[in-house]
Amino acid sequence: MKVLSEYTSYGYPPEFRKLIKIVEETREDRLKTSYRRLSLNEREELIKKYHPDYKPDTKRVLRIGVNRDKIVYNELADLLEAWPLVEPNSIDLNHIDYDTDILIIGGGGAAAAAALWAIYGGVSPEDILIVTKLRFGDSNTVKAQGGIQAADRPEDSPVRHYLDTIGGGHFANKPELVRALVMDAPFIIKWLEELGVMFDKTGEGEMIEYSGGGASRRRLHCARDYTGLEIMRVLKDEVLNYGVNVLEFNPAIELLTDPDTGAVSGAILLNLETHEYYIVRAKVTILATGGFGRLHLAGFPTSNHYGATADGIVLAYRVGANLLHMDTAQYHPTGVAWPEAILGELITEKCRSLGAQLVNINGELFIHELEPRDVVASAIIKECYEGRGVITPTGSCGVWLDMPMIDAKRGPGTIKKALPAMYRQFIRQGIDITVEPVLTYPTLHYQNGGVEIDEYTHVLNPRGEWIKGLLAAGEVTGGVHGRNRLMGNSLLDLMVFGRRAGLTASQIVRNMDKPKISLNHLNRYMDELEKYNIPKNRKSPLILPDYRGEKVLSRFLDIRI
Amino acid sequence: MTTPIATSERKSSVKTVRIYFMNKAYDVPIGLTIMKALEYAGYKLMRGVGCRGGFCGACAVAYRKPGDYKFKTGLACQTVVENDMYIALLPYSPLIKPRYNIFEMKPEAGYVLKIFPEVARCISCNSCSKACPQGLEVMDAVQSVLRNDILKAADLVFDCISCGLCSLRCPAEIRHIYLFQLLRRLAGKYLLPRAKHLEIRVNEIESGKYFAEIEDLMKKPIDELKKLYSERDIEPE
């Protein structure tokens, strides 16, 4: 890799040399030791005291919809207790713009896997339509760096993977979903290998596998630290090779339902550039819209892509989908705490898999690096809360992630070879992670819960019945990971349930007649909104977050030109 | 032509730099990325923004500075603003992906050149490598294809994020991002050896191994699961 000299590099201010020196001086001793693992009880205690899920005033009880009385984060409640973006009467449903068998909403890994497996299941590519808010591939999938889990080494087994996953999830996971996850996993890796994903391997073809937090065996398969990007681009390439129709910059803003059966029968799209709306009729709709990081729950920065605004949750909830575990979120332990330019971006867990330790201002260890993520995040927050964190140049707090330990443990050059994305991210800011530690603090990372599905990806209502015509896969769904996801299980989730959604859809559309379309499901929802006096200007889905400066917004004139 | 800045803006106490976005001046706080600076200035982005973390390639930018003839390139989400940057977003380049069947190909230059004949027009000017915000040796990869070394080429461009800046600068009109995608797939599919342990495990699962054991776990009460979980041995890293 060339030195990226074109970038302005600020690096650490001189006063930080003293603090970094402490990390350097304690490194040699720390190389020989590690922090002990906590018992389940110790974990619970730490989490209850310091995890953001337990921060007061960040959640409230839902008043509207099928999950009224359930507790969810405030930012999500605001979107669920909100009016549709369009008046149902203003939409002409007599003119169908796209009439398709399978509509896939979303453009990430789950969407691409669903499209391919629908094709393998016998659906013609012309009968599939992918619609996405940004570009095909713009998703959290491409930001997944560390790897994808699959128990494929002789020392390992799917049974272990099952136990690790439910233990990490606080035993709240849906068992049949976890079974699907772990039992399909090796097959998924093999499928990706056959499509041409360049996994890191030895010369003999053996997968190079690492430990992830909360996993009892090394089972993380990776492609440098671009694992999600590599998987996404291969799947996207294959989807496009088949000639599947893709509409970019066309988010779904509402689902459609059959007035006779109540089944989901398509969606309304909004062309983001022209603001023209389109009507899609579909026999089956697959929600693959991803998570909610850009809602900045509890005021946290996020590692998520720009479009992660929970649109799919809102749409599914309006047709009566049950939501699971929306009172919990995953805060990735190691987000960037400084520099400000990349605040909240991810420092992959693979750094810790490779040997980087978490260190407080005194150069002390305070947690085993490979505990589950909610445990490690809570421990970091505790260090900062109790004054053993480092105050960053912008006044926030963080702890050190001692990156140079990786090369010290595994040989010079390891960082540049195994973590090129991390090396670039920091050298662009003037920080060389081969010789300097980095400042880190938890960042909002993953939606643990979501729309409830069964193992064939049918979306369920609170009574456990199918919402006909609607499937879901990936981060938008809940139950797979319980209350906390393990590293490497999200890419796996996308592939396993994206595949299952495609296969299920391919079976449903056979011999099925074209459904009717309506917005009837909104009537009851809007009655409830009226009853609770929800302000008319509160609308959802959000589509995109707004980061415009305060001064500009205070002087903004809404004039059409 | 100089673009004036509002008088009120000049008195700001925050340390700022002046940037010119498509020739229009804005004073923005120091330390922001180009992307965050544009948002601060009042732009709600839709094109030219994606993952915001250097992985998706949606936010290619080009910029120049007065007194410097150099045409500089970067990613809006990674490049920190500097005084007097004249910036343009380049979020899309018309490269149109060719379709092919990877299962009917071989990892050889002949197959690649049939789909991307323009690769043979490379004049080794290195404009592509100079434009690459990832710092990749783009030209070396193109040349490796001509030497029929697909694995080396794929390895050189593995970290490509498909921003398309190289293709915008290329006098040979090479469609790099799609060329590189094909190279990586050919290498991954045909040139890297297959994982035998993976094959074995897939067969084990398909023959029904583990099914009963997992069924058994699924039925266990939580207390028993907690015990099993706490007692499981953990492999050293």
Q: State how far Cα A34 lies from the chain centre.
A: 30
How much is the pLDDT for B8?
53
Rounded to the nearest 10°, the torsion over CA B189, B190, B192, B198 is: 60
With respect to CATH, is domain A14-54+331-443 assigned 3.90.700.10? yes
The segments of chain B whose pLDDT lies below 50 read none
Give residue A3's pLDDT.
Answer: 43
**Two tokens at A114?**
């669903």
* Distance from C-alpha of B87 to C-alpha of B42, rounded to nearest angstrom: 15
Q: How far apart, in whole angstroms, are the C-alpha atoms of residue A213 and residue A486?
A: 7
A141 interface with B at CB cutoff 8 Å:
no
Domains of chain B with bracketed CATH: 15-89 (3.10.20.30), 102-191 (1.10.1060.10)
A313 pLDDT above the threshold of 70: yes
Report the residue from B39, B82, B154 with minimal CB separation from A8: B82
| Tokens 């699907």, located at residue | A180
Band (A7; pLDDT cuts 50, 70, 90)? very low
Token code pair at residue A370? 């490979």
Q: Say yes or no: A557 contacts chain B, CB-CB below 8 A.
A: no
Angle at B124 between CA B121 and CA B128, to 5 degrees: 95
The edge-to-edge listing of strands for the beta sheet with A220-221 is A148-149, A220-221, A209-210
Q: Are B150 and B180 in contact (CB under 8 A)?
A: no
Backbone region of residue A105 per phi and psi (left: phi > 0; alpha: psi in -120 to 50; beta: other values): beta
For chain A, give every domain's residue range.
Answer: 14-54+331-443, 84-329+447-509
Taking Cα atoms as reference points, which of A476, A464, A134 lies closest to residue A285? A476
Give the pLDDT score at A331.
Answer: 98
CA distances to A134, A269, A544 from A272, rounded to whole Å, are 9, 9, 11
Which chain A residues are within 8 Å of B157, Cβ to Cβ? none
Q: By the 8 A CB rule, do A295 and A76 touch?
A: yes
Alpha carbon of B185: minimum distance to chain A alpha carbons (Å) = 4
**Residues of B whose CB is below 8 A from A428:** 54, 78-80
Spatial CA neighbour of B122 closest among B98, B153, B158, B155: B153
pLDDT digits (tens, 9 = 90+) for A250-304: 999 999 999 999 999 999 999 999 999 999 999 999 999 999 999 999 999 999 9
Q: What is the pLDDT of residues A448-494, one digit of tens each?
A: 999 999 999 999 999 999 999 999 999 999 999 999 999 999 999 99
DSSP per position, A365-379? --S-TTS-HHHHHHH
A84-329+447-509 adopts what CATH topology? FAD/NAD(P)-binding domain (3.50.50)
B56 close to A (CB below 8 A): yes
Q: Catalogue the active-site residues of A.
A: 332, 352
Residue B15 has a pLDDT of 86
Residues A39-61 have pLDDT tens digits of 999 999 999 999 999 998 999 99
pTM over 0.80: yes
Does the structure's ipTM exceed the value 0.90? yes
Give the ranges where A58-204 is alpha helix by DSSP (H): 74-80, 109-120, 158-168, 175-195
The size of chain B, in residues, is 237
Q: Considering only residues 203 to 222 of chain B, which have any Cβ-Cβ distance to chain A shorter than 8 Å?
A: 205-206, 210-211, 213-214, 217-218, 222
CA distance A130 to A269: 11
Residue B44 touches chain A, beta carbons under 8 Å: yes
Q: Which residue of B lies nearest to A231 if distances are taken between CA atoms?
A: B185
- Distance in angstroms (rounded) separating the CA atoms of residues A408 and A113: 39
CA B54, CA B221: separation in Å to the nearest integer?
45
**CA A438/CA A399 separation, integer angstroms:** 8
- Chain A touched by B71 (CB under 8 Å): no
> Mind giving me the DSSP string for A447-507?
---EEEB-TT-EEE-TTS-EEEEEEE-STTEESSSTTSPPTTHHHHHHHHHHHHHHHHHHH
pLDDT the model gives residue B5: 62
DSSP three-state, residue A244: coil
- Look over chain A and give the mean of its residue pLDDT values, rounded to a whole number: 96
The DSSP call for residue B107 is S
Domains A14-54+331-443 and A84-329+447-509 share a fold: no
